[in-house]
Amino acid sequence: MQLTVEDVSSVKKVLQVEISEQDVTKEIDNAYKELKKGAKLKGFRPGKAPRNVLEKYYSKDVQANVLSTLIQDSIVEAVQESGLQIIGEPKLDLPDFKENEPLIYKATVEIAPEIGDVDYKGIKLKKTMYKVRDEEIDMQLKLMQEKMADKKKIEEDRPAQDGDFLQIDYEGLVDGQPLGEEKTKDFVLKLGDATISEDFDNHLKGMKAGEEKEFSVMFTNDDPNKAFAGQVIDFKLILNEIREQILPEINDELAKNFSQFETLEELKTEITKNLQEGYEKRTEQELNEQMFKHLLGQVEFEVPDTLVEVELDGIIKDAERMFEQYNMSLEQIGQTKEELRANYRDTAVMQVKRFLVLDQIVKQESLEAEEAELDDAFEQMAKQFGATKEQVKKIYEANDNQIQMIKQGILEKKAMKLIVSSSEIEEVEPELEETAEETAE
């Protein structure tokens, strides 16, 4: 076997492999010898069919098998001979197979970029010191109050107004053709929230229960609902019912509806705790963003497409799982996997760069995942899955790849802690306080 290596880039190489005519012929001869032993052909006893007869019936199968064997054996040898630590699987460019000729093919492979020592010490970071405000606690209580509110059908004969909850049946048409297979029935929206659109809500204002109405709404090209975006839709609608929201008082009785709380003060304490935890996560995220911005600004390297594609696969799977929780799919929001991959490619590239820089620091500082840290990771997963640590450990230890992923996660966290602890951190007050989104459940 002869091997040449072409540098396409710092992370992409093309291996050209040449297998001599002699080796090709030898493999073909061996294939026919094995085939002859078991071939059953009319007019010939087993093992007695001549080569030319076997070629007549089996040449294509033999060539395919020989090609597969030669490729599988030679590509492993070629990678070893090249000395490259490849990422992912080689991409093969296979020629038409011809007997009595050398077999020459190309394999494109990728390797991790070479990153020199990273200077991570003394980075100047700003740590925003967020504090939970009374207004945030009140807002969370208000949300919980609305969650426990009753939606009572109004008995008086009055028109719909902002704040009412309307139960409607509707059908959307474009050029006279229905948008969906069936009409939407018993759909509930809060008037004034622009659930479908502000214009849609405006057409409902002033309607009374039992009324029917037809109207048109023009949706912008950037409307969040991809099925409606850029279209003029004709709606046929009936208002079935108008409901008003009856809010409970914010007191001890409200608190008892949520988990283990007996008093309003206990609930407020839990809300404060959750909001503060949210701020701590936000602070950590902001420090990490500053940290990575500095680190990636001082090193330049190419990113292997293989790693980007793996990261994109993870993003797509996470998106699909999220939509499944709401009984939705990408198609229902007018998105395809291909569009999602294109939209998140830059994010994936940046994420891979972060992983590679952290990996370099792990190697640079000879960081290791300790057994106690691994046990702690199993303990956390056990709580998450409602299992024992031993059960989780047994499952993961049966798959070395999964164990390596857990260890890699531990090492990345250790590297980030090391970087932050080696930084110069300035504590600052928040310039613009934003309301935390976490709720106490």
Structure tokens at 355: 């992983």
Backbone phi, psi, residue 260, to 5°: -95, 10
Residue 367 CB-density burial (10 A; 0-12 exposed, 13-18 middle, 19+ buried): middle
Selection from 258, 273, 254, 245 nearest residue 137 by Cα: 273
Question: What's 333's DSSP letter?
Answer: G
Question: What's 166's DSSP letter?
Answer: E
Selection from 156, 224, 232, 165 nearest residue 192 by Cα: 165
User: For residue 396, what are the domain limits?
Assistant: 276-428
Residue 129 lies in a domain: no
280/404 same-domain check:
yes
234/295 same-domain check:
no
Long-range contacts of 207-211, Cβ-Cβ distance < 8 Å, separation of 24 or more: 207/159, 207/160, 207/239, 208/157, 208/158, 208/159, 208/160, 208/239, 208/242, 209/154, 209/239, 209/240, 209/241, 209/242, 210/238, 210/239, 210/240, 211/238, 211/239
225/324 same-domain check:
no
Residue 269 lies in a domain: no
Which domain-ending residue is among 56, 83, 111?
111
**pTM for the full predicted model:** 0.73
Residue 440 lies in a domain: no
CB of 439 closer than 8 Å to CB of 147: no
287/362 same-domain check:
yes
CB of 164 closer than 8 Å to CB of 201: no
Residue 268 lies in a domain: no
Structure tokens at 310: 């793996």
Residue 117 lies in a domain: no
Question: What's 427's DSSP letter?
Answer: E
CB of 204 closer than 8 Å to CB of 191: yes
Q: Using one digit for the tens of pLDDT, what is the confidence trace for 146-200?
A: 889 998 999 889 999 999 999 999 999 998 888 877 789 999 999 999 999 999 9
Name the amino acid, one letter, at 132: V
pLDDT at 39: 85
Structure tokens at 164: 């009412």
**Residue 406 and residue 404: Cα distance in Å, rounded?**
5
User: Reduced to 3 states, what is the DSSP secondary structure of residue 241?
Assistant: strand
CATH of the domain at 296: 1.10.3120.10
CATH of the domain at 187: 3.10.50.40
Which domain-ending residue is among 80, 111, 142?
111
Residue 124 lies in a domain: no
89/197 same-domain check:
no
Structure tokens at 377: 């990771």
pLDDT at 241: 95
With a cut of 90, say whether residue 46 has pLDDT above it: no
383/317 same-domain check:
yes
pLDDT at 398: 87
Q: How many CA atoms lie within 13 A of 349 on its CB side?
A: 12
CB of 234 closer than 8 Å to CB of 216: yes
Residue 378 lies in a domain: yes
310/388 same-domain check:
yes
- What domain count does the chain have? 3
H or E element that contains 136: helix 134-147
Residue 206 lies in a domain: yes
106/211 same-domain check:
no
Structure tokens at 386: 């409602």
pLDDT at 437: 44
Which domain-ending residue is among 56, 90, 111?
111
321/240 same-domain check:
no
Selection from 31, 114, 117 nearest residue 70 by Cα: 31
Q: Using one digit for the tens of pLDDT, what is the confidence trace for 281-306?
A: 999 999 999 999 999 999 999 999 99
Would you place residue 432 in the very low, low, confident or very high pLDDT band (cuts 50, 70, 90)? low
99/217 same-domain check:
no
90/166 same-domain check:
no
Q: Using one digit for the tens of pLDDT, what is the confidence trace for 385-417?
A: 889 999 998 898 888 888 999 999 999 999 999
H or E element that contains 394: helix 389-397
CATH of the domain at 90: 3.30.70.1050
23/72 same-domain check:
yes
pLDDT at 438: 42
